[in-house]
A = this chain, B = another copy of it.
Amino acid sequence: MRIAVLGTGVVGRTLAAKPDGLGHEVAIGTRDPAATNARTEPGGFGTPPFPQWQAGHPQVRLMSFAEAAGFAGLVMNATSGSAAMAALVAAGEAALAGKVLIDVSNPLDFSRGMPPTLDPVNTDSLGEQIQRAFPAVRVVKALNTMNCRVMVEPGRVPGEHNVFLCGNDETAKQAAADLIGSFGWPAGSLIDLGDISAARGTEMLMPLWLRLMGAVGHADFNFHVPHS
């Protein structure tokens, strides 16, 4: 399958490397590929410059958002929440139409300092905003409730734990579940929360996730929902 991952940060790189390693054709989308390729300084969180990362993943192609969206049959949005809408607009409605878009982003607002707040919240979500802005795109919100390394390597966390997914298109959710399953998630670990408005709930998990990272001391944890 041809997969495009939008975003060149740690989340995008992690989500690109995994399907690349599984034999898929993978492209990473960025605003300005020439600028991304010219980077020599580490990123905001000490991330190595992109060319250094790509040297270890020579088969992953770097493209503009629009080229990546056109190239792929399935798209994963791994941009930051504040950049998501602009990235998808740049990708283009026509190139995305009919495709499954797995949205792993969270609408974290760092403009008021730490900890970040969520915007939108309560009566809307980034997942819904994306679905409304791109009605022909089959948006599936998933994987946004954990660290990106756990997304692609669930065994980093011991025992059972869950992926929440939601979206309005059942076949799109199945396609997302199949891809996520190929990352190593057992079938029973996926919980379908229903339509895309459930993204409000999974995105609003972020403040607890951030406090748990402080309590646990690292990011190799996840949520499990045992029930009778």
Binding site for B on A (CB under 8 A): 112, 117-119, 121-123, 156-161, 164, 166, 191-194, 198, 200-202, 204-205, 207-212, 214-216, 218, 220-228
Q: Which residues of B contact A228 (CB under 8 A)?
A: 156-158, 218, 220-221
Indicate whether A212 sits within 8 Å of B224 (C-beta atoms), given known contacts A122-B121, A200-B207, A204-B207: no
* A144 smallest CB distance to B (angstroms): 11
- Which of B200, B207, B224 interacts with A224 by CB under 8 Å? B224
Residues of B within 8 A of A207 (CB): 122, 200-201, 204
Closest Cβ of chain B to A199, distance in Å, is 10
In this complex, what residue of B is CB-closest to A228? B220
A205 and B223 alpha carbons, distance in the complex (Å): 12
A173 smallest CB distance to B (angstroms): 13
Identify A194's interface contact among B122, B204, B215, B225, CB under 8 A: B215
| Oligomeric state, in copies | 2
Shortest CB distance A192–B (Å): 6
Interface contacts beyond A157-B226, A223-B224: sample of 9 additional A-B pairs, CB < 8 Å, sorted by A: A118-B122, A191-B215, A193-B208, A193-B211, A193-B214, A194-B214, A221-B225, A221-B228, A222-B225
Complex: how many Å from CA A202 to CA B223?
13
B193 touches A212 (CB 8 A): yes
Q: Which 9 interchain pairs have the tightest Cβ spacing?
A: A201-B208, A221-B227, A201-B207, A117-B122, A224-B224, A220-B228, A204-B204, A159-B226, A193-B211
A206 to chain B, nearest CB (A): 8
Q: Is the CB of A223 within 8 A of B220?
A: no
Chain B residues whose CB sits within 8 angstroms of the CB of A225 once the complex forms: 212, 216, 221-224
Q: How far is the CA of A207 from the CA of B123 in the complex (A)?
A: 10
